[in-house]
Structure 1
Amino acid sequence: MKKHILVIAQYFYPEQFRINDICTEWVKRGYKVTVITGIPNYPQGKYYNGYGLFKKRKEIYNGIEVIRIPLIPRGNNSIMLALNYLSFVVSGFFWKTFTKLKADYVYIYEVSPMTQALPGVWFAKKRKIPCYLYVTDLWPENVEIITGIKNKYFLNTIGIMVDYIYKNCDRIFTSSKSFISAINQRGVKLEKLEFWPQYAEDFYIPVSKEEVVVNDIPQDDVFNIIFAGNIGTAQGLEILPEVASLLQIESTKVRFNIIGDGRFKNELKRLVNEFDVREMFNFIPKQPATKIPEYMALCDASLISLAKSKVFSITLPAKTQSCLASGLPVIVSADGEIQDVIHEANAGICSDAGDVQMLANNIIELTSMSEEKREKMAINAINYYKNNFDKSNLLDKMDGWFS
């Protein structure tokens, strides 16, 4: 009989994170899965409709038992964000103390904040069961970027917490190869670390335009670029209005289709107006992840963008796999590992984070490329995805660790 996995994930359905799919797949493979999560509020910063402190605190999603512990919504400033992180830990502590739940493994899905791992570590210690940690955001490095806090004492304290979590996990999986050496430098032995890249959900496949029912992206003689996901400071999208103004000077017809929500969206819209490039931007509200491949089918290239930062240069964003699997040429405006992947796949063009001129040049190059050349990039993207990020292979590997 397959085992019971307790998943700790501060974000879970209806919030759009890959852990939703991982848990669904585990249920299909015969595992019993329970998820301890918060009340959904990402990225808008307020509780989703139908959810609250006294509403839908327990539900079943795709055969997964979901238990929602109280937390303060993330709001739209760093104080609220800190309270959001802290409240999940406090609620998790009380849950761990009083729960009668039994499990065979703890699996912590760590996107920021790392603090969410604490209830999982405490539960595993209390029950004396293996604790697995999946690191997709590197702390304490990420804290400085997300909160803007530069106080060394505060960051050192976070570092002590991170070391405590690493020490008390039996195995640490990482979503990027570069994370392994970064975590190893904190004194974690290499044999405890394993590269386990993210995969794209099954619905990320090339869709033909004939199958598309959405109509938010005009089909004209303009080159359509899609960016779908969180619109925050980490994504480094503030360079796009200036890039658009350079493209305008060169009479390059481009449209940036920005799909999603986030704390930086209003500021991005303000910059678009300031640079007077409104007609080159198409802002589309946040969509269900299952709809994104349809939007991609209406576009000529996808954009992956990250802000300039040492930690982002060793991060492989989850968007990478979605873009490759959907079979579009990829435009990268980011440093480090993501460039290595796209170059190796021969699936797009890359510029460094924050490099306005180079990004503009790359877009001009892509728009002037033959349809045949771009089609080759798209095929390369799909092939590279299948060879390196196949879901079934990755889940088989995780099965090996669970057994």
Structure 2
Amino acid sequence: MKKHILVIAQYFYPEQFRINDICTEWVKRGYKVTVITGIPNYPQGKFYDGYSYFKKRREEYNGVDIIRIPLIPRGNSSITLALNYLSFVVSGFFWKALSKLKADYVYIFEVSPMTQALPGVWYAKKRKIPCYLYVTDLWPENVEIVAGIKNKSILNALGVMVDYIYKRCDRIFTSSRSFIEAIHQRGVELDKLEFWPQYAEDYYVPVNKEIASATEVPMDDTFNIIFAGNIGVAQGLDILPDVAKILKRSNIKVRFNIVGDGRYKETLINKVNNNNIQELFNFIPKQPATKIPELMAACDATLISLSKSKVFSMTLPAKTQSCLACGLPVIVSADGEIQQIINEAGAGVCSDAGETEKLAENIKILTSLSADELKTMSINALEYSKKTFDKNKLLERMDRWFNKTN
């Protein structure tokens, strides 16, 4: 009989998160998978076309059963974001109380918010089954950055909730090594923690630049840099207009191709326009994830950036694996673990978060390299990706936990 995994993930297909691929792979490996998620609204803050409180509440994706519980869309303010987080928990509480679904394991895919873990913890306790938590964002630390909440009483209350969740999970997996010590400092035993890095989906592969049909990226003699993903405050893209001004004064022919959507996008566009540097930027609407490798192939390097923050210095962004798997030189504007990875791989250049002058200097260096030197970085990226983030090996490690006797 198939083992049944109940996945709790506030974001799921058609929202673009790695849990979509993980669940698909579990189905291929013979598991029955049910996902409890919300109505898709990330990152735009409003429900996707075709979805509502009354439409597509039950769906199937690659053999995965999807149950969508009601929530309030993220909107564009801290208040609506908080209501979005809270509404998923409230709906999850009632779902847990009323559901007849029988699963063998609970797997919680935690990108912010951590609050989404509560329905999974409650369900696992009700059914007396193992509960596994995958932490990709640290709470309550992350709340200060993403939601802008500074109130100590609120942060302390969130800390109590986080400790409650950690205590009631049988195993905690982390997407970065740095998270292990941070979670251990909250009183969690080290033997309960395991580093399990994210991997890139199969479609993240190098595409021949000569045959790439990404018409969104102009094919000229300009050095094209691509950033693809959520355009939020956390991504630290506010540094780019000042970097662009430095490069423009130095007559460096560079174009930042910004692909995606998010709460900070309009502000960034306004800054670009106000500084009269439009020719250095190319804003591309959000694309299907499968299109990203083609867009990358049309570019010379990819950018990974994060804002200045202690918690972000411990974070290994999911796009790291995607960029390495596509074999593109990587420009890092972030602190901590991501720099260690790129330097270890020999796959790019790094500067600390918010260091405008250093980021501009690194871009100048890349634009001065020969085609062979850039190709070496690309090869290094691919080799490191295959060695460190092998999909099958990672899934086999998770299989061992699912195949343990309850």
Which category of TM-score, normalised to the shorter sequence, fits these structures? over 0.9
SS of the residue corresponding to residue 374 of structure 1 reads helix
Matched, 1:253 2:215: no
2:110 aligned residue: 110
2:286 aligned residue: 286
Determine the C-alpha separation between the residues in 2 that align with 1:73 and 1:183. Answer: 30
1:130 aligned residue: 130
Matched, 1:100 2:100: yes
How many equivalent pairs are there? Answer: 403
The equivalences for 1:374-389 within 5 A come to: 374-389=374-389
Instruction: Please list the CA deviations of residues 216-249 of structure 1 after superposition, one character each: whole Å capped at 9, or x if unmatched.
Output: 1111110000000000000000010110000011
Deviation at 1:210, TM superposition (A): 3.7
Matched, 1:67 2:62: no
Determine the C-alpha separation between the residues in 1 that align with 2:153 and 2:365. Answer: 47
Determine the C-alpha separation between the residues in 2 that align with 1:205 and 1:218. Answer: 21
Deviation at 1:147, TM superposition (A): 1.5
Deviation at 1:146, TM superposition (A): 1.1
Q: Which runs of 5+ in 1 are unaligned?
A: none
Determine the C-alpha separation between the residues in 1 that align with 2:211 and 2:54. Answer: 41
Determine the C-alpha separation between the residues in 2 that align with 1:218 and 1:148. Answer: 37
1:205 aligned residue: 205
Deviation at 1:193, TM superposition (A): 0.1
Deviation at 1:211, TM superposition (A): 3.4
1:27 aligned residue: 27
2:302 aligned residue: 302
Determine the C-alpha separation between the residues in 2 that align with 1:273 and 1:246. Answer: 16
SS of the residue corresponding to residue 50 of structure 1 reads coil
Determine the C-alpha separation between the residues in 2 that align with 1:326 and 1:121. Answer: 37
2:144 aligned residue: 144
Matched, 1:176 2:181: no
Determine the C-alpha separation between the residues in 1 that align with 2:59 and 2:2. Answer: 22
Deviation at 1:273, TM superposition (A): 1.2
In the alignment, residue 187 of structure 1 is paired with which amino acid?
Answer: G
TM-score of the two chains, using structure 2 as the length reference: 0.99
The equivalences for 1:256-271 within 5 A come to: 256-271=256-271
SS of the residue corresponding to residue 91 of structure 2 reads helix
2:397 aligned residue: 397
Matched, 1:43 2:43: yes
SS of the residue corresponding to residue 393 of structure 1 reads helix
Deviation at 1:127, TM superposition (A): 0.2
Matched, 1:315 2:315: yes
Q: Which runs of 5+ in 2 are unaligned?
A: none
Instruction: Please list the CA deviations of residues 70-89 of structure 1 after superposition, one character each: whole Å capped at 9, or x if unmatched.
Output: 00000000000000000000
Seq. identity, %: 75
Matched, 1:367 2:367: yes
SS of the residue corresponding to residue 209 of structure 1 reads coil
Deviation at 1:382, TM superposition (A): 0.3
Determine the C-alpha separation between the residues in 2 that align with 1:147 and 1:213. Answer: 38
Instruction: Please list the CA deviations of residues 151-203 of structure 1 after superposition, one character each: whole Å capped at 9, or x if unmatched.
Output: 11110000000000000000000000000000000000000000000000000
2:204 and 2:325 in contact (8 A); partners too? yes
In the alignment, residue 127 of structure 2 is paired with which amino acid?
Answer: R
Instruction: Please list the CA deviations of residues 56-111 of structure 1 after superposition, one character each: whole Å capped at 9, or x if unmatched.
Output: 00011100000000000000000000000000000000000000000000000000
Determine the C-alpha separation between the residues in 2 that align with 1:146 and 1:332. Answer: 20
In the alignment, residue 296 of structure 2 is paired with which amino acid?
Answer: M
2:214 and 2:298 in contact (8 A); partners too? no
In the alignment, residue 380 of structure 2 is paired with which amino acid?
Answer: N
The equivalences for 1:205-244 within 5 A come to: 205-244=205-244
Determine the C-alpha separation between the residues in 2 that align with 1:246 and 1:276. Answer: 13
- After the TM superposition, list the runs of 4 or more consecutive aligned residues in structure 1 that deviate by more than 4 angstroms: none
Determine the C-alpha separation between the residues in 1 that align with 2:48 and 2:28. Answer: 28
2:55 aligned residue: 55
Determine the C-alpha separation between the residues in 2 that align with 1:7 and 1:178. Answer: 25
Determine the C-alpha separation between the residues in 2 that align with 1:27 and 1:9. Answer: 16
Instruction: Please list the CA deviations of residues 110-135 of structure 1 after superposition, one character each: whole Å capped at 9, or x if unmatched.
Output: 00000000000000000000000000
Deviation at 1:212, TM superposition (A): 2.1
RMSD, aligned α-carbons: 0.6
2:326 aligned residue: 326
In the alignment, residue 135 of structure 1 is paired with which amino acid?
Answer: V
1:166 aligned residue: 166
SS of the residue corresponding to residue 363 of structure 1 reads helix
Determine the C-alpha separation between the residues in 2 that align with 1:68 and 1:211. Answer: 40
Determine the C-alpha separation between the residues in 2 that align with 1:155 and 1:362. Answer: 37
Determine the C-alpha separation between the residues in 2 that align with 1:360 and 1:60. Answer: 46
Matched, 1:341 2:341: yes
1:277 aligned residue: 277
1:83 aligned residue: 83
Determine the C-alpha separation between the residues in 1 that align with 2:228 and 2:211. Answer: 20
SS of the residue corresponding to residue 332 of structure 1 reads strand
SS of the residue corresponding to residue 169 of structure 1 reads coil
